[in-house]
Amino acid sequence: MDATSIPESPPFLEVRNLTLQYTTPQYLVTATRDVGFRVARFDRLILLGPSGCGKSTILKAVGGFIKPAGGEIRLQGKLVTKPGADRGMVFQEFDQLLPWKTALENIVFAVTSARRLPRRQALEEAREWLHKVNLTAFANAYPHELSGGMKQRAAIARCLALNSPLILMDEPFASLDALSRSAMQEELLRLWEETRRTLIFVTHSIDEALILGTRIILFSPHPGQVRAEFTPARRNVGPGLRGYELRERIEHLLFQDRVDYAV
């Protein structure tokens, strides 16, 4: 062994040979088989694919909510075995905010319980985060008094307030109307510039993937496997040829797979 060789530092997140299964009353279903990918720091990785391709399941496994049947997930070299605040999660469902707490108190709760900060400091940070997502006026509103977009903004603020190095988002804009969705996408990119985290974002919308991602992994369904990987052009290029080409290729691949998941 050469003593002077520097061992390669582990990737920020590494998913290796990940096989995920779940049981229904009748079957043991394999959701994904032998999925592997790496995420570098400050990536915005998009997991893209049709419904049933296991992209959400993979995200939940990274979150530690599902135990892998095979393979492993390592975050900064450390094996992921259970959920933790180092992987903040934003869900699709509007009911992810605690309905018995105001928007502000939702963030305070996250900060005090996950980061164990004293309440006064947590309040200060929570106010700042609400300001960053333009919800200052709704700090004392309960979730049922907020619109769908506001709820998701509050949920994103709550997640960012955890200070997790890795953020996991499971189709957070899928239940929004088209106008709010594109506004939220812009807002997410703006927040990203300010906060600099690493993101894994699950979506089934090619548009959303092209707008948000620095990298896109396309999955094929039944069982979920990596189909292809893309690096889209930088977003300030706009809807140029590169984006158009990429969309064509993704659509082409999805079309090829269609036989598999039309059943």
| Footprint of other proteins (CB under 8 A) | 60, 63-65, 82-85, 87-89, 91, 93, 95-96, 98-100, 109-110, 113-114, 142-145, 162
Minimum CB–partner distance for residue 238 and other proteins (Å): 35
Minimum CB–partner distance for residue 66 and other proteins (Å): 10
CB of 116 or CB of 120, closer to other proteins: 116
CB of 113 or CB of 231, closer to other proteins: 113
Q: Which two structure tokens, joined as six digits, stand for 156?
A: 């994103």
Dist. CA 155–CA 163, nearest whole Å: 14
CB of 107 or CB of 211, closer to other proteins: 107
CB of 81 or CB of 134, closer to other proteins: 81
Minimum CB–partner distance for residue 201 and other proteins (Å): 16
CB of 97 or CB of 250, closer to other proteins: 97
Dist. CA 90–CA 87, nearest whole Å: 10
Minimum CB–partner distance for residue 251 and other proteins (Å): 31
CB of 7 or CB of 99, closer to other proteins: 99
Minimum CB–partner distance for residue 110 and other proteins (Å): 6
Distances, alpha carbon 38 to alpha carbons 15, 41, 114, 215, 216, in Å: 6, 10, 26, 11, 12
Nearest to 168 by CA among 134, 203, 143, 116: 203
Minimum CB–partner distance for residue 257 and other proteins (Å): 28
First to last CA, the chain: 53
Looking only at the bridges linking them, the beta strands covering 44-48 and 198-203 are: parallel
Dist. CA 46–CA 68, nearest whole Å: 21
Environment class of 39 (CB within 10 Å of its CB; exposed 0-12, middle 13-18, buried 19+)? buried
Q: Which two structure tokens, joined as six digits, stand for 94?
A: 């509007």
